[in-house]
Amino acid sequence: MKERVILGMSGGVDSSVSALILKEKGYEVIGIFMKNWEEKDEYGVCTATEDANDARRVANQLNIPFYTINFEEEYWNRVFSYFLDEYKKGRTPNPDVMCNQEIKFNAFLDYALKLEADYIAMGHYAQVKEIDGEYYLLRGKDKNKDQSYFLSRIDQKALSKTLFPIGHLTKKEVRKIAEEHNLYTAKKKDSTGICFIGERDDFDKFLDQYLLTKEGDIVNVDGGKIGRHTGLIHYTLGQRRGIGIGGIGTGEPWFVAGKDLKKNILYVAQGENHPALYSTSLIGESPKWILERAPKTPLKCTAKFRYRQQDIPVTVDILGNGELHIKYDNPVKAVTPGQVAVLYKNEICLGGAIIKSIEPLEEKYRFINPTWSY
């Protein structure tokens, strides 16, 4: 009897090729499109409907069953509410990480198991390896597309039941397979938007639909009010564009260096190497370990504080309250509270934590990120 795999089909080329590979390997494949967000674009078209139709076309090409399931309520309660709460705290969240933790590898997994699935599958660039009954999360072969960062908070139950059919391939190889088999999505452009919320030309306008904003002062970290901001939720640490400051100081660009939520102040620094932009360590809250047990500390490993970042050598300690103190070997620019610090040992993703606060490079700049404490 064939093993049953419930595949999350997004309407993109990655999940399409995943479906093809699984079928060729002899699995009983069922495609499921997860509808987690309902909103029409400026032309009155729901992009989720378009993606679902693309996924259905591929399923028909491959002659596999295809269904759509609605997770809008779960997404709102478990992901989008968290997303909004983080912005209210003045932080910059990563909903893609939380979507994987709460929806794709939780609600979707539970749904699949009710359908007597042996496994679920996703078109992620990542790999799973089982050693002595434990399941390890490994980076995908394509280092430019590796998605282990976004999977860093899923658990052993999910990993033991998950297949990543394209994790051993590069994006170029995936495209080639799709074209060779004339899959409908072979040349479809990759999505770059937030998980299920999609791509948006005006993200500030989107946030303003859900959160109240209040104008306030923009203050130079080295002294003096130099402008007005449109609401702290519209800015993130390290941001250069859209601050609205020009013709002041040396002529070098200005960068967001910090936020004070209580005083409603946006702090900025001039020059891309200004010391106020750098930190030397961070506190990570709500840690999650892939093996569901903490490693021995102090732990020397590498970390990423955002998806596209190069690995950074760090030393990790576990504090008495369970939070992580992650000290970098060298100062790092624009580490952002609300994002995820993901830890690696070579190709293995160990897990990670939500960045709670950062330690300034220079003590005199502590005031620009007043939540730091250690």
- Enter the pTM of the model: 0.91
pLDDT of res. 39: 56
Q: Are residues 247 and 219 in the same domain?
A: yes
Given this model, what pLDDT does residue 38 score? 63
Reading phi first (left if > 0) and then psi (alpha if -120 to 50, else beta), residue 151 is in: alpha
Q: What's the CA gap between 104 and 158, in Å, rounded?
A: 9
Answer for the pair 138, 149: CB distance below 8 angstroms, yes or no: no
Structural tokens at position 197: 């919320």
Same domain for 144 and 10?
yes
Report if residue 116 sits inside a domain.
yes
Query: Do both 345 and 254 map to the same domain?
Result: no
- Mark out the alpha helices in 101-168 (DSSP H runs): 108-114, 156-160
CATH code, domain carrying 216: 2.30.30.280
| Strand, helix or coil for residue 286 | strand
Q: Three-class SS of residue 32?
A: strand
Q: Locate 107 and state its tokens.
A: 């609600």
Residues 6+ apart with CB under 8 A from 156: 134, 135, 290, 291, 292
Q: Are residues 238 and 334 in the same domain?
A: no
Q: What is the mean pLDDT of each run of 10 residues along the chain (374 residues)?
A: 93 96 97 78 60 94 95 89 87 90 92 95 97 97 96 96 98 96 90 52 70 88 91 90 82 92 93 95 96 95 94 97 97 95 98 95 87 60
Q: Are residues 12 and 143 in the same domain?
A: yes
138 and 283: one domain? no
15: closest CA among 141, 139, 177? Answer: 177
Distance in angstroms between the alpha carbons of the first and the last residue of the chain: 57
Same domain, 261 and 279: no
pLDDT at 114: 93
How many structural domains compose the chain?
A: 3
Residue type, 326: I
Shared domain check, 109 and 90: yes
**For residue 44, what are its two tokens?**
């009155």
Which residue matches tokens 């009983």? 28
List of residues 6+ apart from 173 with CB closer than 8 A: none
Report the catalytic residues.
99, 195
**Per-residue pLDDT at 43:** 43
Distance from chain centroid for Cα 356: 16
Q: Do 49 and 121 share a domain, yes or no?
A: yes
Quick one: 12 and 115 in the same domain? yes
In which domain, by residue range, is 331 found? 275-368
Instruction: Kindly state whether residue 76 falls inside one of the protein's structural domains.
Output: yes
* pLDDT for the residue numbered 134: 97
Q: Are residues 160 and 122 in the same domain?
A: yes
Instruction: Provide the CATH number for the domain around residue 70.
Output: 3.40.50.620
Please report, for the domain that includes residue 346, its CATH number. 2.40.30.10
